[in-house]
Amino acid sequence: MRSPHYFIIRPQGGVRYDASKNLSGKDFIMSSSQEDHRYTNRVGIVVSTPIGYTGEISEGDHVIVHHNVFRLYYDMKGVERSSWNFYEDDIFMVEFDQLFLYKKPEGDWSAPYPYCFIKPVLHENKEGELSSTDVELALHGYVEYVPSNDIVKKGDFVSFRPESEYEFNIDGDKLYRMKMKNLCLKI
């Protein structure tokens, strides 16, 4: 099965939501709400690529997708519906701009253009400065994943535009996804 325009994917583990955490050997349900986007599964496995696609992503790769891809919601009449991405069973169709990271089964994550992922920096109050209640240094971070052959590289300290970051949990790390054009300074 191939599409002329869409990536065909399955959710990792065959589940739409990832709302439980194992803490000290016990499973805890973090949210029971379908509306809570923080606990939708965002990891998929590529079944097939679009016809004519010649990029880096291939069958069997893991991908990080938009939080609405696997999501269920209630329409205006209160009827449960799947996102427009749903095809049948556990098969979903995804546009390229809904794929934010990809990795080969034995590789590391890579970001397709125009996206990048930034690791936030913890705020440290310096001696003599007014104390801040901010946990993170606003609008600053370290580049974690970036498209290849770009101006910034992994580990670069950067500043970015306000309201451009979107939080993701990638392999247990809090990272911000944003577009490359939202990076303002390489410091």
Each residue's pLDDT expressed in tens, for the chain with a length of 187 residues: 899 999 999 999 887 767 666 778 877 766 666 666 666 778 999 999 999 999 999 999 999 999 889 888 888 999 988 899 999 999 999 999 999 999 998 889 999 999 999 999 987 766 666 656 668 888 999 999 999 877 899 999 999 999 999 999 898 899 999 999 999 999 9
DSSP secondary structure string for all residues of the chain: ---SS-EEEEEGGG-SB--EEEETTEEEE----TT-GGGB--EEEEEEPPTT--SS--TT-EEEE-TTSS-EEE-TTS-EEE-TTEEETTEEEE-GGGEEEEE-TTS--BPPTTEEEEEEEE--PPTTSPP---SEEEEEEEEEE--TT-SS-TT-EEEE-TT--EEEEETTEEEEEEEGGGEEEE-
Q: What is the pLDDT of residue 61?
A: 97
